[in-house]
Structure 1
Amino acid sequence: MKKQSKTMTKAVVVGTLVLTCSLLFMASGCSTRSDEAAAIKVGESLKKMQYEIQVADIGTTVEDRIKKQEEFKPFLTEQGYVAFATNRQSAIASGYAMKNKLNMKVKHIEFENMNQDNMEKDTFSFRYSIDLELSPSELTSSKGTSVVTRTGHMSVVKQDDEWKVLKDLDNGFIADE
């Protein structure tokens, strides 16, 4: 009777261990998907802020541009913000909109996870594609709208329990386009 009790106890311990490991494995998978979704969300927010532009709302003074540039800070790491500002990523899109008197709106954005096994923990690398709707502003008599697609690559990292963009290599608008 004692031998059967020991065998049963071992079976319960092994079963509990297997169940615990399975639950931990499932939780880590869910956590990874949840982290990926949060990283994508910050990337989408950055791109929408960058590319959703109403010509009438574009400021014309240096102070207006500085204020607009500051709005990107919450989505970027310090290093990411310096690169974003240096590359004039927000200014190029609004400059294009103003020059061509076009409003911009993000119609669709898609992120593709490019993570590899050797990536650091709490880091995602994405390729992305954005469909932008360009429509005439009230400053022009043009009527038609068009959709253009832009692509890029983005690295998003977890910093102080928040996801932030470290690097955004945007193949977006070129000033003379």
Structure 2
Amino acid sequence: MKKHSTTMTKAVVVGSLILTCSLLFMASGCSTRSDEAAAIKIGESLKKMQYEIQVADIGTTVEDRIKKQEEFKPFLTEQGYIVFTANRQSEIATGYALNNNLNIKVKQIEFENMKQDNMEKDTFSFRYSIDLELSPSELTSSKGTSVVTHTGHMSVVKQDNEWKILKDLDNGFIADE
């Protein structure tokens, strides 16, 4: 009877091990999906901050522009912030809106995970597409609205347990349309 009990114990241990491994494998898959969703969310937040513009709310002083530029810091790595500001990404859309008396609103953002084999852990590479609605501000008599599509590429990394944007490469701007 003792031999039967030992065999049964081994079967329970092996079964438990298989169940545990299966659960861990499934949990890691769920974790990857939730990490991807969190990385996309930070990308969407940055792009909305960059492109949701009301002409009446644009500050005109250098201090206003510096303050606005600093609002992007929480979304970017230190290196990402340096490049973002050096390329004036926080100012280009605002300048376009101001010069043309157009409000800009994000209609839709889509991210596509590039899933490259050589990607490091806790890193995502996305292509994105943004539909921007351009509408006349209250400072103009123009009535028509239009929608333009803007595309780009973004790299998002986990840094100190938070998702941050390392790189945001816009493919042109609405002024180029």
**Which of the five TM-score ranges fits, normalised by the shorter chain?**
over 0.9
| 1:168 equivalent in structure 2 | 168
**2-side partners of 1:17 and 1:166: how far apart?**
39
**2-side partners of 1:176 and 1:74: how far apart?**
29
SS in 1 for 2:94: helix
| 1:126 equivalent in structure 2 | 126
Q: CA deviation at 1:6?
A: 1.3
Q: CA deviation at 1:163?
A: 0.3
**2-side partners of 1:97 and 1:68: how far apart?**
15
Amino acid at match of 1:118: N
Amino acid at match of 1:162: E
Cα contact 1:129–1:151 (8 A) shared by 2: yes
| 2:10 equivalent in structure 1 | 10
> Gapped runs of 5+ residues in structure 1?
none
SS in 1 for 2:139: coil
Amino acid at match of 1:114: M
Residues 91-148 of structure 1: CA deviation (Å, up to 9, x unaligned): 1000110111100000000000012222100100000000000000011101011100
The alignment-based identity, stated in percent, is 89
| 1:93 equivalent in structure 2 | 93
> Gapped runs of 5+ residues in structure 2?
none
SS in 1 for 2:83: helix
**1-side partners of 2:65 and 2:176: how far apart?**
20
**1-side partners of 2:39 and 2:149: how far apart?**
22
**1-side partners of 2:44 and 2:160: how far apart?**
20
List structure 1 runs of 4+ shifted beyond 2 angstroms: 174-177
The RMSD of aligned alpha carbons is 1.1
**1-side partners of 2:116 and 2:129: how far apart?**
20
Residues 59-104 of structure 1: CA deviation (Å, up to 9, x unaligned): 1111111000000000000000000000000110001101111000
Aligned positions of 1:5-154 closer than 5 A = 5-154=5-154
SS in 1 for 2:28: helix
TM, length-normalised to structure 2: 0.97
**2-side partners of 1:33 and 1:70: how far apart?**
30
Amino acid at match of 2:43: G
**1-side partners of 2:76 and 2:7: how far apart?**
57
TM, length-normalised to structure 1: 0.97
SS in 1 for 2:66: helix
Amino acid at match of 2:38: A
| 2:159 equivalent in structure 1 | 159
Cα contact 2:148–2:174 (8 A) shared by 1: no
Q: CA deviation at 1:158?
A: 0.4
- Return closer, same or farther for 1:170/1:7 CA change in 2, 3 Å cut-off: same
**1-side partners of 2:119 and 2:53: how far apart?**
35
Q: CA deviation at 1:176?
A: 6.3
Amino acid at match of 2:66: I
Amino acid at match of 2:20: T
Cα contact 2:150–2:174 (8 A) shared by 1: no
